[in-house]
Chains A and B, each alone.
Chain A
Amino acid sequence: MTQTRYYRTRSPEPEKEKTGGGGGTAMRVIVPLQGVVQGRGGLVLGSIIPCALFYFLQFYLKRNRDDPDDKNESNSTSQNPTIRSPSSEHLTELPGLTRSLSRALLSPRNSGPVSISARVSGIVKGGDSPYYMGLKRVKEDPYDELDNPNGVIQLGLAENKLSLDLVKDWLAENAREAILGNGKELSVSGIAPYQPFDGLMEFKVAVAGFMSQVMENAVSFNPSQMVLTAGATPAIEILSFCLADTGNAFLVPTPYYPGFDRDVKWRTGVEIIHVPCRSAENFHLSIAALDRSFNQAKKRGLKVRGVIISNPSNPVGNLLNRETLYSLLDFAREKNIHIISNEILAGSTHGNEEFVSMAEIVDQEDTDRKRVHIVYGLSKDLSLPGFRVGVIYTFNEDVLAAARKLSRFSATSAPTQRLLISMLSDTKFVRTFITTNRERLQRMYVQLVAGLEKMGIKSIKSSGGFYCWADMSGFISSYSEKGEVELWDKLLNIGKVNVTPGSCCHCIEPGWFRFCFATLTEKDIPVVMERIQKVLKPVN
Chain B
Amino acid sequence: MRLIVPLQGVVQGRGGLILGSLIPCALFYFLQLYLKRHRSPKPQSNPPSPTTSSPKLAEMTRTSSRSNLFSRSIGQVRISSRAISIAKPNESPYYIGLDKASEDPYDRLSNPDGVIQLGLSENRLCFDLIEKWMSENLGHSITGRDNGELNINGIATYQPFDGTMELKLAMAGFMSHIMGGAVTFEPSQVVLTAGATPAIETLCFCLADQGNAFLVPTPYYPGFDRDVKFRTGVELIPVHCRSTDNFALSITALDQAFNQTRKHGTKIRGILLSNPANPVGNLLSWEMLYAILDFAREKNIHVISDEIFAGSMYGNEEFVSMAEVLDSEGFDKNRVHIVYGLSKDLSLPGFRVGVIYSFNENVLAAARKLTRFSSVSAPTQRLLVSMLSDARFIEEYIKTNKRRLQNMHALFVAGLKGLNIRCADSSAGLYCWADMSKLISSYSEKGELELWDKLLNVGKINVTPGSACHCIEPGWFRCCFTTLAEEDIPVVLERIRKAVENTTDLLNSS
Contact = CB atoms under 8 A, between A and B. Distances in A.
Contacts of B372: 231, 233-234, 262-263
Contacts of A186: 131, 134-135
Interface stretch (A340-348, A385-393, A469-477): A385-393
A415 B383 contact: yes
B402 interface: no
Interface string A146-183: 00000000000101010011011001100110011000
Contacts of A367: 73
B201 to A, nearest CB: 5
Interface residues of B, number: 118
A150 B158 CA distance: 23
B77 A370 contact: yes
Interface string A413-443: 1111001000000000000000000000000
Interface in A70-91: 70, 73
Contacts of B43: 11-13
Contacts of B418: none
B481 to A, nearest CB: 15
Interface in B117-154: 120, 122, 124, 127, 130-131, 134-135, 138-139, 142-143, 150, 152-154
Interface stretch (A202-210, A218-226, A330-338, A496-504): A330-338
A334 to B, nearest CB: 5
B262 A188 contact: no
A44 to B, nearest CB: 9
Interface stretch (A190-198, A276-284, A523-531): A190-198
Interface string A243-260: 111101000000000000
A14 interface: yes
B350 A414 contact: yes
A399 B138 CA distance: 38
A117 interface: yes
Contacts of B10: 58-59, 62
A337 B77 contact: yes
Given A118-B209, A179-B138, A192-B351, A67 B194 contact: no
B377 A333 contact: no
Interface stretch (A317-325, A402-410, A454-462, A478-486): A402-410
Interface stretch (B168-176, B279-287, B362-370, B447-455): B362-370
Given A55-B19, A333-B69, A402-B83, A384 B369 contact: no
Contacts of B22: 51-52, 54-55
B79 A191 contact: no
B69 to A, nearest CB: 5
Contacts of A123: 366, 369-370
Interface stretch (A295-303, A307-315, A356-364): A295-303
Contacts of B138: 175-176, 179-180
A337 B208 CA distance: 31
A36 B29 CA distance: 10
Nearest to A18: B50
Contacts of A175: 138-139, 142-143
Interface string B189-224: 000001101100100011111101000000000000
Contacts of A534: none
Given A175-B138, A192-B130, A48 B157 contact: no
B409 interface: no
Contacts of B212: 117
A33 B230 CA distance: 34
B370 to A, nearest CB: 7
B297 A110 contact: yes
B43 to A, nearest CB: 6
Contacts of B155: 386-387
Given A262-B372, A405-B226, A55 B130 contact: no
A293 interface: no
Nearest to A367: B73
B133 to A, nearest CB: 9
Contacts of A189: 124, 127
A233 B371 CA distance: 10
B29 A241 contact: no
A230 interface: yes
Contact of A14 (B36, B50, B135, B362): B50
Main secondary structure of the interface of A (DSSP, over half): helix
Contacts of B131: 186-188
A127 B369 contact: yes
A229 to B, nearest CB: 9
B248 interface: no
A52 B198 contact: no
A106 B41 CA distance: 53
A292 interface: no
Interface string A2-20: 0010011001111011000
A194 B373 contact: no
B300 A411 contact: no
B41 A164 contact: no
B3 interface: no
Contact of A230 (B89, B134, B375): B375
B370 A51 contact: no
A235 B269 CA distance: 29
A193 B350 contact: yes
B83 A243 contact: yes
Interface string B53-93: 00000000000010011001101110111111011010000
Interface string B225-267: 0110011000000000000000000000000000100110100
Contact of A413 (B134, B369, B380): B380
A192 B150 contact: no
Contacts of B297: 110
Contact of B79 (A105, A237, A396, A410): A396
B79 A385 contact: no
B76 A117 contact: no
A113 interface: yes
Q: In this complex, which of B14, B79, B89, B231 has the most chain A Cβ atoms within 10 angstroms of its Cβ?
A: B79
B379 A387 contact: yes
B194 A413 contact: yes
B347 interface: yes
B478 interface: no
B302 interface: yes
Contact of A415 (B73, B301, B335, B351): B351
B406 interface: no
B35 A4 contact: yes
A411 B135 contact: no
Interface in B453-480: none
A265 interface: no
A95 interface: no
Nearest to B204: A117
Identify which of A189, A305, A402 gathers the most chain B CB atoms within 10 Å of its CB: A402
A388 B377 contact: yes
Given A117-B205, A171-B143, A194 B350 contact: yes
Interface string B154-171: 111111000000000000
14 contacts: A51-B25, A112-B300, A119-B209, A161-B153, A193-B122, A334-B72, A336-B77, A370-B77, A386-B156, A387-B156, A388-B194, A409-B374, A413-B380, A414-B352
Interface of B: 9-10, 14, 19, 22-23, 25-26, 28-30, 32-33, 35-43, 46-47, 49-50, 65, 68-69, 72-73, 75-77, 79-84, 86-87, 89, 120, 122, 124, 127, 130-131, 134-135, 138-139, 142-143, 150, 152-159, 194-195, 197-198, 201, 205-210, 212, 226-227, 230-231, 259, 262-263, 265, 269, 297-302, 332, 334-335, 347-353, 360, 362-363, 365-366, 369-370, 372-380, 383
Given A45-B29, A295-B41, 20 more contacts: A11-B42, A36-B33, A36-B36, A45-B32, A55-B22, A73-B9, A117-B212, A119-B205, A124-B366, A157-B158, A172-B143, A234-B373, A234-B374, A266-B369, A267-B231, A267-B370, A334-B69, A336-B75, A387-B379, A402-B84
The 7 nearest A-B residue pairs measured at CB:
A386-B378, A414-B350, A413-B377, A168-B152, A120-B366, A413-B380, A416-B377
